[in-house]
Amino acid sequence: MNITIFQSRQFRVFKKHKLAQFGAITLVFFILVAVFADLIAPKDPNKMNLRHSYKAPSSEFFLGTDRIGRDYFSRLVHGTRVSLGVGLGGIGIATIIGILFGGLSGYLGGRIDIFLLKLSELIICFPSIVLILMIVTIVGQSLLNLILIFGFLEWVGLYRLIRSLFMSLKEQEFVEALEAFGVRKFSIMFQHILPNAIAPITVWMTLTLAGMILAEAGLSFLGMGVPLQVPSWGNLLNGAKDLRVLENYPWIWIPPGIVITLAVLSINFLGDGLRDAFNPKS
Amino acid sequence: MLLIQKVDFMRNLILQIKDLKVYFDTDEGLIKAVDGVSFNVEKNSVVAIVGESGCGKSVTARSILQLLPTNAHIVDGELNFNLGDNKIIEIHKLDRNSREMRAIRGGEISIVFQDPMTFLNPVYTIGYQIYENIKEHLHYKYRNSIAKIHEILASVGISNPIQRSQQFPHELSGGMRQRSMIGMSLSANPKLIIADEPTTALDVTIQAQVLDLMKKIQNEKGMSVILITHDMGVVAEMADFVVVMYMGKIVEKASCQMIFNNPKHPYTIKLLESIPKLGRGRNQKLKPISGTTPNFTSLPTGCLFSPRCDFASSKCSNIPKEIEYSDNHFVSCWKYNEEIKEN
Amino acid sequence: MRAFILRKLLNIIPTIFLLSLIIFIGMELTPGDAATALIEPDTPVEEIEKIRESLGLNKPAYIRYFLWLTGIFVGDFGISLNDGSDIATVISQKLGATLELMLTSFLFSSVIGVILGIVSSLNKYSSTDHILTLFGMIGLSIPSFFFGIISLKIFSVDLQLLPFGGRLSPDEMGNVRILNLIQPALVLALLEIAAVMRYSRSTMIDVLGKDYIVTAQSKGLAPWRINFLHGFRTAVTPIIVLLAFRLPGLIGGSIIIETVFVWPGMGSTFIYAVEGRDYNMVMMISLIVSVIVLIASLLVDVLIAIFDPRIKLQ
């Protein structure tokens, strides 16, 4: 009997474990940086000093300075708070809306379902960025607006998931029994049916969070996301649009890019690990 | 045994399975799905393998054609197949994807599966899926195959074969699908057919039809059949010889008559007691077998059936040896060692 | 099949009307209209009012909506608030560039992504598979514009092999034009390859675990036949659906890439319009894009019906 067969499968399971663990630890690290940004950042991220424009990294400025002399490292640290905040805020809102709408649609059906379904179809017709920019154009650009827009647009995926879950589970006998006992619909929906969905909801949350962080980065890079004075990962990369920066000042564009990639990568690893963990082993 | 000796030994056999061991490695550990199974299939006979779900009967059947999943391995044992013309093929020595093995699959030995809905490809017509087998083994060109396909479909009792051959699996009823599968397995005139619970997924009335069809084909073509089932009624109707399996081992094997009239192993007896018998009246007491099959990762030592056996004794903590109770009737149970000794 | 297509078309028409309604409402909510686009600054208010009247801008909303909608059907997309240019003309000029970029990317990424996904799935858990999967994960996580910047730095700034951006008109030499196309197209393709590869892999693995694959094996068919004629053939349908789902994302991605590489397409036009508060342009492009996505999904439905006989055409 071949021992190597054992090795390859267990190795695979363990390896997935490791990546997910790495993802979780990195994510926690980023969250800690975001929470304690004030303590970690050595200088005021908004303090300008035109005499220190584009200085290379040194012991005083860990990551050098940007065009108007602000400490880049401090901006990166505070940017973590903003970028993660936008992502987590958006995810929070989207999750609540997705579950609420999905539950109402799936369980109650009828007009509500038709309306919500149509709404979700309309949102899906637009490429995400196009729709977000269209709305930003109408309502104006601000940090709060960004979070709200993310939240109000990204719920569609979760909505579909929850809706089909409720639609299928609604027919099952335990629900009939609960209804017969006079348990209120609201309670049935959220106390009895929903717990079945914890797994796919969590997986969806991690993957969509990754998407939101990338979206914020892209929008801010274009100058249309987080307002430019507020540091965010994408905003910092906005500085790289200048060719001089690309040619001469690598500390401006490399660190934010790597940080974004690392953050999104770890969320993806975590999401993958969660998906495997929740998958019943065949 | 040398190959030459095998030829001689297998003169009347189509297949000899000797001490077959198939183990699965899984995340929960090593599972000994088949652990030392031996039986012979005579030419032109029907051998039924019976047992509960999970006893290893399907695995045994699939290992004959090396159709096991990648985490399963034939760890030991022999699978000797009589090709005819004094040629014996040692299947256990063949590489899974080798030319020889593929030539056997569908050509010399074919298999009919349980659920024709999932075992037929939904995007190809019935006719095409049969054509694949004909092309692979008979090397017909497409033009010549069409007639043969219609002939095959007709021979398995499908009316309108021309129309049906152009249809997709989801357009046929369950019974027709299974007949098509059977037709597909017959298309290259194999010597041995393995039927893995062929009627389990069908309605009772359709079951009867399909069984009749199989009997008819077996008689007409002189084929050998290995029939996997958990239904003793099907066994009674179809089998010449019966092999009873439990948890990866054979507990009893004998002719069909012997099994029904003179079952010896406690498990076989329980199996027979748990099915209703026609003619015994309305109020038959059905006796389910007490207990459940143990988990494969925590098997009892000694006889695997002992926890559920009414006759268990201290001897049963050792694995029983197989003894020949009478002519071609074998049992693995300590109860009978005594009887033999006494006689 | 014709009835099928007709039915699907009928289904999306109400959605298109709803979309146009949303766009129109968006336009109503934003300041500025055709009149403000046409006037010089310092024009007296009475003049503006007269222009408004002549353009029919004072009519009630539902009439304006109707006029606007019918205008679109005859090709009048309104005028840009920034420079008064005809939006339809602008779009037709820029559309070609975007299509060139997107189609190149789409074809490249779909083909490569599917092939790599299949290779991965057939060699499950081998080192090739692990490496490809890792690259895939990184590809999904790296922001496209960051990758674009890296590429610019390496190939344009340091090595000076490829131009910084811009696009040569179709009149110029074909070979030279490719140099401009390579970077934006490949960078745009990267994210797609990662996603397509991942999904193709999991779909193939899923399909290869199905029962009818065992049947195919039991007929003694050659492994390549089984993997492609039975495996891939059945996996094609969900993969096509995925590729279609990626289309909106591809459009969004091209917006960013066109900005990074100064590619004169609809994407960069859209961004300039957003930056410049050219609400008309923003809305019209949004409308066009959403209708394109809708029609693309219809095409996908037709494709699926072709490949999967289980879909009822009647």
Judging contacts by C-beta atoms under 8 Å, the chain A residues touching residue B25 are: 5-6, 9
Neighbouring CB atoms inside 10 A of C198's CB total 22
Q: What local confidence, expressed as pLDDT, does residue A89 receive?
A: 94
Distance (Å, whole) CA A132 – CA A149: 7
Judging contacts by C-beta atoms under 8 Å, the chain C residues touching residue A221 are: 143, 145, 256
Buried-state track C123-145, b at ≥16 Cβ within 10 A, e below 16: ebeeeebbebbeebbbbbbbbbb
Scan residues 139-198 of B and list those with Cβ closer than 8 Å to C: 168, 170, 181, 184
Residue A6 has pLDDT above 50, yes or no: no
Judging contacts by C-beta atoms under 8 Å, the chain C residues touching residue A121 are: 15
B73 touches chain A (CB under 8 A): yes
Nearest residue on chain C to B185, alpha-carbon basis: C219
What is the helix (H) or strand (E) element at residue B26, kind and residue range?
A: strand B13-26
pLDDT confidence bin for A15, thresholds 50/70/90:
low
Q: What local confidence, expressed as pLDDT, does residue A280 receive?
A: 63
Q: Which CATH number describes the domain made up of A5-278? A: 1.10.3720.10
Q: What local confidence, expressed as pLDDT, does residue C49 receive?
A: 77
Do C263 and C164 contact (CB within 8 A), yes or no? no
Question: What interhelical angle do A198-222 and A156-170 show, nearest 10?
Answer: 160
* Long-range contacts of residues A137-142, Cβ cutoff 8 Å, at least 24 apart: A137/C30, A137/C274, A137/C277, A137/C279, A137/C282, A138/C26, A138/C29, A138/C30, A138/C279, A141/A224, A141/A225, A141/A227, A142/A227
Q: What local confidence, expressed as pLDDT, does residue A206 receive?
A: 92
Nearest residue on chain A to B75, alpha-carbon basis: A1
B23 touches chain A (CB under 8 A): yes
Q: What local confidence, expressed as pLDDT, does residue A21 receive?
A: 87
Residue A113 CB partners (closer than 8 Å, separation 6+): A104, A105, A106, A163
Query: DSSP of chain A, one letter per residue?
Result: --HHHHHHHHHHHHHHHHHHHHHHHHHHHHHHHHHTHHHH-SS-TT---GGGTTPPP-SSSTT-B-TT--BHHHHHHHHHHHHHHHHHHHHHHHHHHHHHHHHIIIII-HHHHHHHHHHHHHHHHS-HHHHHHHHHHHH---HHHHHHHHHHHTTHHHHHHHHHHHHHHHTSHHHHHHHHTT--HHHIIIIIIGGGGHHHHHHHHHHHHHHHHHHHHHHHHHTSSS-TTS--HHHHHHGGGSHHHHHH-HHHHHHHHHHHHHHHHHHHHHHHHHHHHHSPP-
Q: What local confidence, expressed as pLDDT, does residue A1 receive?
A: 42
Judging contacts by C-beta atoms under 8 Å, the chain A residues touching residue C271 are: 133, 222, 224
Mean pLDDT of chain A, nearest integer: 85
Point out the residues of chain C with pLDDT beneath 50. none
Helix, strand, coil shares of chain B, percent, nearest 5, are: 40, 25, 35
Q: Where are the domains of chain B?
A: 4-108+190-342
CATH topology (fold) of B4-108+190-342: Rossmann fold (3.40.50)
Q: What local confidence, expressed as pLDDT, does residue B62 receive?
A: 94
CB contact under 8 A, C309 and B122: yes
Mean pLDDT of chain B, nearest integer: 87
Question: What interhelical angle do C233-260 and C174-208 show, nearest 10?
Answer: 140
Most confident of A70-74, B18-22, B80-84, B216-220: B18-22
CB contact under 8 A, A265 and C141: yes
Residue C29 CB partners (closer than 8 Å, separation 6+): A138
* The pair of three-digit structure tokens given for residue B291, joined into one six-digit string: 């207990």
**Measuring CA to CA, which residue among C155, C133, C152, C156 is closest to residue C144?**
C152
* The pair of three-digit structure tokens given for residue C223, joined into one six-digit string: 């492994």
* The pair of three-digit structure tokens given for residue C276, joined into one six-digit string: 């410049």
Buried-state track B36-73, b at ≥16 Cβ within 10 A, e below 16: bbbbbbebbbbbbbbbeeebbbbbbbbbbbbbbeeebb
Distance (Å, whole) CA C313 – CA A189: 37
C166 touches chain A (CB under 8 A): no
Judging contacts by C-beta atoms under 8 Å, the chain C residues touching residue B187 are: none
Q: What local confidence, expressed as pLDDT, does residue A16 receive?
A: 67
CB contact under 8 A, C289 and A127: yes
A8 touches chain B (CB under 8 A): no
B101 touches chain C (CB under 8 A): yes
Q: How far is A281 from chain B (nearest CA, A)?
A: 9
CB contact under 8 A, C218 and B107: no
**Measuring CA to CA, which residue among B182, B279, B275, B288 is closest to residue B230?**
B275
Do C192 and C106 contact (CB within 8 A), yes or no? yes
Q: Chains that contact B by 3+ CB pairs under 8 Å?
A: A, C
C211 touches chain B (CB under 8 A): yes
CB contact under 8 A, A261 and C142: yes
Q: Which of C192, C211, C274, C297 to mutate to test the interface with A (most CBs of A within 10 A)?
A: C274
Neighbouring CB atoms inside 10 A of A31's CB total 14
Judging contacts by C-beta atoms under 8 Å, the chain B residues touching residue A10 are: 27
Judging contacts by C-beta atoms under 8 Å, the chain C residues touching residue B168 are: 309-310
Q: What local confidence, expressed as pLDDT, does residue B80 receive?
A: 92
Q: Which residues pair with B249 in a beta bridge?
A: B246
**Measuring CA to CA, which residue among B120, B241, B194, A97 is closest to residue C214?**
B120
**Measuring CA to CA, which residue among A279, A266, A220 is closest to residue A31?**
A266
Q: What local confidence, expressed as pLDDT, does residue A246 receive?
A: 79
Residue A271 has pLDDT above 60, yes or no: yes
B29 touches chain A (CB under 8 A): no
Question: Measuring CA to CA, how many Å separate B60 from each of B32, B77, B245, C221?
Answer: 12, 12, 10, 21
Q: Which of A4, A10, A133 to mutate to test the interface with C (most CBs of C within 10 A)?
A: A133
The residue written with tokens 């209804």 in the block is A179
pLDDT tens digits for range B307-340: 888 888 888 888 888 888 888 888 888 887 666 5
Averaged over A40-63, what is the pLDDT? 80
Higher-pLDDT residue of C152, A186: C152
Give the angle subtended at the CA of B120 by the CAs of B115 and B123, to the nearest 5°.
Answer: 145
CB contact under 8 A, B122 and C220: no
Judging contacts by C-beta atoms under 8 Å, the chain A residues touching residue C270 are: 130, 133
Q: What local confidence, expressed as pLDDT, does residue B186 receive?
A: 92
pLDDT tens digits for range C121-165: 999 888 899 999 999 999 999 999 999 999 888 888 888 877 777
What is the helix (H) or strand (E) element at residue C98, kind and residue range?
A: helix C87-122
pLDDT confidence bin for A282, thresholds 50/70/90:
very low
Query: DSSP of C233-253, one letter per residue?
Result: HHHHHHHHHHHHHHHHHHHHH
pLDDT tens digits for range B300-310: 788 888 888 88
Q: What local confidence, expressed as pLDDT, does residue A14 receive?
A: 59
B25 touches chain A (CB under 8 A): yes
